[in-house]
Structure 1
Amino acid sequence: MSKQKKPAGGLNIIIVGCGKVGTTLVEQLVKEGHDITIVDKNAKKIQELSSLYDIMGIVGNGASFSVQQDAGIENADLIIAVTESDELNLLCCTLAKRVAKCSAIARVRTPDYSKEIVYLREKLGLAMVINPELEASREASRILCLPTALEVNTFANGQAELIKYKIPEGNPLVGTTIAELSRKTATSLLICVVEREGEIYIPSGDFTMKKNDVISFCTQRNFSRTFFEDLSVKTNQVKNTMIIGGGKAAYYLAKRLIGMGINVKIIENDRQRCEDLSVLLPKAIIINGDGTDEELLREEGIEYAESFVALTGIDEENILLTLHARQVSNAKTITKINRINFKDVISRLDLGSVVYPRYITSEAIIAYVRAKNESGDSNIETLYHLFDHRVEAIEFKVDQESEVTGTPLQALDLKRHLLVAFINRNGKIIIPSGQDTIERGDTVMVVTTHTGFNDITDILK
């Protein structure tokens, strides 16, 4: 297949590794207008993806100089190595940095390397080192700190939070308009998105909330707890958790939870892995057994667990385990899902919180690609996709004055289906009113159903 002509404004990107994350990246980056070349040893995967997305594919070892040459490394803007091997990913990026002027991103998952991410990034000159399991554990631990929430996303270096919450029957929010919300709570917050019966709304002041609405609201860090307390909703951090599966994600999560004073019990089938975990996590209870055995789960106290996290390597197992836990206990549940097949079916199941490691990885990379692709000084700090990729929450850094700066928000000609959720000014989070302005030096979070924003000026019509 001949090399495609580079799209206007797009980047030349080489992706090494066509597994789950590599496939997700191809799907997203092609959609955003970039010129993609994929490299993998598996000829069948290369053929399938290159035919599906009309991109160039090279069969071979991505750490080979000749293979990188065939992939066009001299003209590449970015190489992303997401094979199953950390060492191969680092070698791919190191070689690319030696022979070309491209940026490089490596996926690195081994705990030994995760302690050295800053060192690796600096010494090897990498733009980013990303660890999906570590990031998934951070997301899960944030949820277990605020178990009322379905999702907790952080912005502004952790100073602001975007919280997803399902409104139950009898909640004070039922029948309340967005404009009336200040009477129910003294907390400064902004409801950015509402999902109702599968439909997505960026709500205006006259929008009335109903039971079973799923809302995403933005507020300053730790203010979300005050908001829930105003609604008489229990928000206490869980005291214990039961984790099924003892892989990397379980290790990272258990380590974080133990550090927060939460009691951890891990059930893992592989005896050798249990012995390893016992050494790595001396404060955790490690059980060698089949996590799908109902009798074992009952013996280990699933009925009394405050939280239950399904982290096996099989999505179907994780889903069934969570459904069982919700049936026999009142535990806060978190389910790890790697594939995205049958996503519509999964979203209709009562699974509680769901974590997708592959999306966490791809979103961090896409945020970097959009920022790199922007010729101006303003750039993207953070990017999250919400509600099955139908909504984007994007944090922009405003490095220069433009048509959006210095003018009250109510006077700007903003696109529809868009909200400015917060302004971070010198570490102070402002939930903006119409009179507030965006200034040079701010970071600004925008929530919108539009896609592909690269710069803060994209919020204007």
Structure 2
Amino acid sequence: MRVIICGAGRVGQGIARRLAKENHDIVMIDQDARLIDIVQTELDVRGVQGHAGHPNVLLAAGGEACDMIIAVTYSDEINMVICQVADTLFNIPTKIARIRAQQYLESSWRQLFSRDGLGIDLVISPELEVGDAILQRFKTPGAVMSVSFGRGDVQLIGIEVLPDSPVLDTALDQLQGLFPSLNARVVGISRNEHVFAPRGNDNLKVGDTAYVAVLKSHAHRLNSIFNRPEAETRRVVIVGGGNVGLYVAKGLEKQSGVRVRVIEADITQAEHAVSELSRTIVIHGDGLTREILEESDAPTADLVIATTHDDKTNILISKLSKQMGTKRALALVNAPELAQLAREMKLDAVLDPRALTVSRILMKMRRGRILALQSLEDGAAEIAEGVTLETSPLIGKSLGYDDLPKGITAAAILRDGEVIFATPEVRPRANDHVLLFYETTMTSKVEQFFRVSADFF
């Protein structure tokens, strides 16, 4: 696929790096010559210097033969104009824009991005996506990651396997017999920086990250089975009162019994946070200092969330908070090399905004009826929810660990409001929503499962 990415900053580079791994033909546009030099040197992309909203610049980037344009410049308005020019002058099929200002995203103005409006096919708001991911993580405190599928009925949870866990060294196809009342299924394993879709005789080892699909109402039980009992999170400190921090604080204010404090270094932003929040204490100061963390009661907090605009600061805040007594710390980290460093520093959780943004874009790029998708382990694996059409090769096929091609594991079927976890006895029907975990080398095979066969016509 031919893709133009407008904006060669942190978000644009993250998207380009991920898409380049799939051998897409990528061109990046930016006005900053330095950024263009960086992406052409470090990434397998072509760079064009100029204003991406100008028709001649889009033409030089190959707009007349482009399949998708992704506008992630610093300006919402420029991103909108880029998509409008791409649609009107170049008829580019798929147009994606990053929109940060919440005013544009209110439901009252939804028609702005419709076919009769700006013609934007997908609006991405990394701040909202990150905020939702943090709130989701708040509900599953023992997990290193958590994402929902099937209107929230099923969660995919990443959870570390501890030395005294009762699931150690047990073949995966025997786990259901050990915990018959638990609606869950291990669908992926990350071990020694390698992630794979397991077979039935595989087992979990100490230090693994197990990716488990679980019924939402059983998520808390899963923690205890993996021997990670977690008390409810009641006291939260958020460092960074920008878009992400403010969004999370508002979300937590809606939950009863949760006390939230926000630390913000910029006085103007701190005052804005005060005006937007009702039950949250806002502290003006540097969250990287012990005095401010102590003033916010971080040493006795259940959770500290570092959401500043600087990856290194977020990592250091999380580490310092842990040293001072915080039970758990979550850091927002964009740079992949720093994310790995954060994990080596034993932070409880690292949230990568790039992965959330890329997942939304990949969903638009995948062929077939794929309704939801999450990229995992820096693109090494994915989990997708797709619809089985009448000609799908999945229909009638057994969904045991060893029944699908190697590299693919079935998680569950969502049928008529019911969640049916995969077993050798479960077989998909037409129009089922099937949740599959797969190594990205098996992407084309998964796409075939959710495509209409040519024989159908």
Q: Does 1:363 align with 2:359?
A: yes
Aligned residue for 1:109?
Answer: 100
Contact map agreement 1:25 1:362 (CA 8 A) in 2? yes
Q: Which moved more, 1:129-138 or 1:218-227?
A: 218-227
Aligned residue for 1:408?
Answer: 398
Which of 110, 128, 143 in structure 2 is aligned with 1:134?
Answer: 128
Contact map agreement 2:137 2:145 (CA 8 A) in 1? yes
Which of 210, 215, 237 in structure 1 is aligned with 2:210?
Answer: 215
Aligned residue for 1:47?
Answer: 37
Aligned residue for 2:113?
Answer: 121
Query: Superposed, which structure 2 residues align to 1:167-186 within 5 Å?
Result: 167-182=161-176, 183-184=178-179, 186=181
Query: Superposed, which structure 2 residues align to 1:27-176 within 5 Å?
Result: 27-53=17-43, 55-102=45-92, 103-116=94-107, 118-122=110-114, 123-176=117-170
Q: Which moved more, 1:144-153 or 1:392-401?
A: 392-401
TM-superposed deviation, 1:199 = 4.2
Which of 368, 391, 398 in structure 1 is aligned with 2:388?
Answer: 398
Contact map agreement 2:342 2:350 (CA 8 A) in 1? no
Contact map agreement 2:312 2:338 (CA 8 A) in 1? no
CA distance in 1, matches of 2:328, 2:223: 16
Contact map agreement 1:379 1:455 (CA 8 A) in 2? no
List runs of 5+ in structure 1 lacking aligned partners: 1-10
> Residue by residue, what CA displacement relative to the aligned partner does 1:301-341 show, whole Å, maximum 9, x if unpaired?
11211111011111111111111222222422211002223
TM-superposed deviation, 1:194 = 2.3
Q: Which amino acid aligns with 2:96?
A: I
Contact map agreement 2:302 2:328 (CA 8 A) in 1? yes
CA distance in 1, matches of 2:61, 2:424: 50
CA distance in 1, matches of 2:171, 2:74: 49
User: What is the TM-score of this pair, normalised by structure 1?
Assistant: 0.89
TM-superposed deviation, 1:457 = 5.7
Q: Which amino acid aligns with 1:307?
A: L
- Tell me the secondary structure at the aligned position of residue 157 of structure 2: strand
Q: Does 1:248 align with 2:238?
A: no
- Tell me the secondary structure at the aligned position of residue 190 of structure 1: strand
CA distance in 2, matches of 1:358, 1:231: 29
List runs of 5+ in structure 2 lacking aligned partners: 451-457
Return closer, same or farther for 1:330/1:297 CA change in 2, 3 Å cut-off.
closer
Return closer, same or farther for 1:209/1:329 CA change in 2, 3 Å cut-off.
same
Q: Which moved more, 1:213-222 or 1:266-275?
A: 213-222
Aligned residue for 1:442?
Answer: 432
Return closer, same or farther for 1:145/1:404 CA change in 2, 3 Å cut-off.
closer
Aligned residue for 2:15?
Answer: 25
Return closer, same or farther for 1:269/1:185 CA change in 2, 3 Å cut-off.
farther
User: What is the TM-score of this pair, normalised by structure 2?
Assistant: 0.90
Aligned residue for 2:417?
Answer: 427
Aligned residue for 1:269?
Answer: 265
Aligned Cα root-mean-square deviation (Å): 2.4
Contact map agreement 1:401 1:439 (CA 8 A) in 2? no
> Residue by residue, what CA displacement relative to the aligned partner does 1:1-35 show, whole Å, maximum 9, x if unpaired?
xxxxxxxxxx2221110111211222222332322
CA distance in 1, matches of 2:287, 2:142: 25
Q: Which moved more, 1:27-36 or 1:314-323?
A: 27-36
CA distance in 1, matches of 2:400, 2:260: 49
Q: Which moved more, 1:324-333 or 1:356-365?
A: 324-333
TM-superposed deviation, 1:267 = 0.5
CA distance in 1, matches of 2:19, 2:196: 26
CA distance in 2, matches of 1:109, 1:237: 32
> Residue by residue, what CA displacement relative to the aligned partner does 1:274-316 show, whole Å, maximum 9, x if unpaired?
1111111132111001111112211321121111101111111
TM-superposed deviation, 1:366 = 1.6
TM-superposed deviation, 1:63 = 1.3
Aligned residue for 2:337?
Answer: 341
TM-superposed deviation, 1:272 = 1.1
TM-superposed deviation, 1:251 = 1.1
- Tell me the secondary structure at the aligned position of residue 56 of structure 2: helix
CA distance in 1, matches of 2:183, 2:118: 43
Contact map agreement 2:162 2:227 (CA 8 A) in 1? no
Q: Which amino acid aligns with 1:220?
A: L
Q: Which amino acid aligns with 1:427?
A: G
Q: Which amino acid aligns with 1:346?
A: A
Q: Which moved more, 1:179-188 or 1:331-340?
A: 179-188
Aligned residue for 2:253?
Answer: 258
Return closer, same or farther for 1:412/1:149 CA change in 2, 3 Å cut-off.
closer
Return closer, same or farther for 1:105/1:457 CA change in 2, 3 Å cut-off.
closer
Which portions of structure 1, spanning 4 or more consecutive aligned residues, are displaced by more than 6 angstroms? none
Aligned residue for 1:329?
Answer: 325
Aligned residue for 2:347?
Answer: 351
> Residue by residue, what CA displacement relative to the aligned partner does 1:241-264 show, whole Å, maximum 9, x if unpaired?
101111111011111111223321
Percent of residue pairs bearing the same amino acid type: 27
Q: Which moved more, 1:408-417 or 1:385-394?
A: 408-417
Return closer, same or farther for 1:177/1:12 CA change in 2, 3 Å cut-off.
closer
